[in-house]
């Protein structure tokens, strides 16, 4: 890990936030952090500033009182490195809002997104990649995503940055000393050929990183699977079978589905959005049905997998390129003749499990794919773009400048965060309360 210098921030104001989702739940957790949480507040809670621990306390909220579990983590042994108090109340937003009023009256302010983690970072509780992996972990939508973020979470990415930064710094020192002392015989002498070799190794390391990792965007991980076909082939029925409930309307009247009906579901830890679309047919159709068909085409164009559904009495001829052939209503058939199709029955459930497996086969993430945050990924791209093999007499000067530029990009990720704006950009991606 590159050397970091972080100012330990003292005398910050005290902040609070709801750490659990809004709404009705078994409990709500409200977090408070600050280095100068007033003694009056400790008195109000009935706990002592010197004594961290877990306490059951009845706290007065004006017209009523609420029995709360209070967790007190004394600075610096807390998530933020400051005094942290967690108040666990019943999961009722009326109670939560009353507690917020009390906190405001004590002069605390509501935290901004990621402010708790930012304080933890500034107080050296963790490195920036650990902090970012907290955010990535919270927003990861599936087991697969968590697996892909493993290198990031385990600090392997930080390790890569540390190594590559050291390499660049070493090379830069050698080149700069050569430039400074070129008349007197270089201190750490390096030939033009060796520079080219060292640069090639560096580029290879950066290229390998960019090949191994992809930028993490939680939206990118969701796959879209669309059901298309003529009216009445059983798209809505299949949709309902797959999502396990009656979401789309089923009817033997053609043209029932007009808007695209969507539902998210998980297949072995991968989140997919399944879409039921308006049936495609020619002949006399209403204006609204035509609009529905337009949406079907849009859905198809942007999908990751298209399931084209037929029924046995139809002539089977695919209309959608790269679609997978599904023949529904297999209960009406004695033999299954088409080799390249999956036979299913939304009515009896036959073949539905196979259909799930087929979908997963198409959308499952590459097992070799690993993720890093977009910020980290972009920094490596920029560093990589800064460096290229140089020829000619200026090779020392130009390479030195390129290496300085690359270092700047890499340090931007792990280096000295004297620029508050960069920090705010990192932490604004967090949720409030984290
Ligand atoms: P969509 O227009 O393609 O969405 O088709 P629907 O799901 O609305 O179904 C059209 C008709 O086919 C309805 O009457 C369904 O009950 C019927 N249907 C759907 N799936 C099956 C199936 O697997 N077997 C049989 N026998 N009928 C089905």
Instruction: Indicate which residue's Cα is closest to atom 26 of ligand 1.
Output: 329
pLDDT at 10: 47
240 CB within 6 A, ligand 1 = no
pLDDT at 256: 64
The two tokens of residue 157 are: 């990415």
Q: How many CA atoms lie less than 13 Å away from 381 in the CB half-sphere? A: 10
What stretches in the chain show pLDDT beneath 50? 1-5, 8-10, 185-188, 417
234 CB within 6 A, ligand 1 = yes
DSSP 8-state symbol, 80: S
Ligand 1 centroid vs 250 CA: distance in angstroms? 7
The two tokens of residue 293 are: 């068909």
Axis crossing angle, helix 192-212 with helix 374-386, rounded to the nearest 10: 160
Measure the CA–CA gap between 216 and 136, rounded to whole angstroms: 8
Measure the CA–CA gap between 182 and 58, rounded to whole angstroms: 76
pLDDT at 40: 94
250 CB within 6 A, ligand 1 = yes
Q: How far apart are the first and last CA of the chain?
A: 24
Ligand 1 centroid vs 202 CA: distance in angstroms? 60
Ligand 1 centroid vs 251 CA: distance in angstroms? 7
282 CB within 6 A, ligand 1 = no
Q: How many CA atoms lie less than 13 Å away from 111 in the CB half-sphere? A: 28
Q: Which helix (H) or strand (E) holds 286?
A: none
- All residues at 6 or more sequence positions from 4 whose CB lies less than 8 Å from its CB, including other chains: 127, 414, 415, 416, 417
Strand, helix or coil at 428? coil
Measure the CA–CA gap between 370 and 213, rounded to whole angstroms: 5
ω before 404 within 30° of 0 (cis)?
no
pLDDT at 1: 38
Q: Are 137 and 152 in contact (CB under 8 A)?
A: no
Tell me the residue ranges of DSSP E strands in 179-257: 213-216, 223-229
233 CB within 6 A, ligand 1 = yes
Measure the CA–CA gap between 142 and 271, rounded to whole angstroms: 7
296 CB within 6 A, ligand 1 = no
pLDDT at 75: 94
Ligand 1 centroid vs 374 CA: distance in angstroms? 44
pLDDT at 280: 81
Strand, helix or coil at 306? strand
Q: Which helix (H) or strand (E) holds 424?
A: helix 420-427
Q: Which is nearest to 98 in space by CA: 51, 147, 70, 65? A: 65
């Amino acid at each position: 890990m590159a050397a970091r210098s972080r100012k330990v921030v003292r005398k910050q104001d005290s902040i609070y936030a709801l750490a659990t989702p809004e709404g009705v739940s078994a409990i709500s957790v409200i977090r408070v952090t600050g280095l100068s949480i007033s003694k009056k507040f400790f008195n109000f809670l009935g706990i002592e500033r010197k004594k961290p621990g877990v306490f059951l306390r009845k706290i007065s909220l004006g017209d009523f009182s609420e029995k709360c579990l209070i967790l007190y983590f004394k600075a610096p042994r807390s998530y933020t490195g400051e005094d942290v108090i967690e108040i666990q109340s019943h999961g009722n937003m009326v109670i939560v809002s009353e507690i917020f009023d009390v906190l405001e009256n004590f002069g605390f302010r509501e935290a901004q997104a990621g402010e708790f983690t930012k304080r933890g970072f500034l107080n050296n509780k963790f490195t920036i990649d650990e902090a970012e992996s907290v955010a990535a972990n919270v927003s990861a939508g599936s087991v697969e995503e968590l697996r892909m973020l493993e290198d990031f979470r385990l600090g392997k990415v930080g390790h890569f940055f540390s190594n590559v930064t050291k390499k660049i710094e070493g090379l830069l020192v050698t080149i700069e000393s050569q430039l400074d002392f070129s008349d007197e015989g270089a201190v750490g002498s390096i030939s033009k050929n060796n520079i080219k070799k060292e640069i090639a190794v560096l580029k290879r390391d950066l290229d390998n990183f960019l090949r191994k990792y992809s930028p993490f965007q939680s939206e990118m991980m969701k796959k879209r699977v669309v059901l298309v076909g003529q009216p009445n082939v059983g798209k809505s029925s299949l949709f309902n079978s797959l999502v396990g409930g009656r979401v789309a309307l089923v009817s033997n009247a053609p043209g029932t589905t007009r808007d695209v009906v969507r539902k998210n579901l998980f297949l072995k830890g991968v989140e997919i959005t399944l879409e039921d679309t308006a049936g495609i047919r020619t002949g006399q159709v209403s204006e609204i049905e035509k609009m529905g068909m337009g949406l079907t085409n849009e859905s198809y164009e942007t999908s990751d997998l298209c399931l084209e559904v037929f029924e046995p009495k139809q002539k089977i001829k695919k209309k959608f390129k790269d679609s997978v052939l599904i023949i529904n209503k297999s209960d009406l058939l004695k033999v299954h003749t088409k080799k390249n199709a999956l036979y299913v029955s939304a009515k009896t459930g036959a073949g539905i499990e196979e259909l799930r497996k087929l979908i997963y086969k198409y959308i499952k993430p590459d097992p070799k794919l690993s993720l890093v945050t977009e910020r980290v990924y972009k920094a490596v791209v920029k560093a990589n773009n800064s460096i290229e093999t140089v020829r000619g007499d200026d090779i020392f000067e130009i390479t030195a400048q390129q290496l300085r530029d690359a270092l700047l990009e890499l340090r931007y990720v792990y280096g000295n965060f004297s620029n508050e704006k960069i920090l705010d950009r990192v932490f604004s991606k967090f949720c409030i309360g984290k």
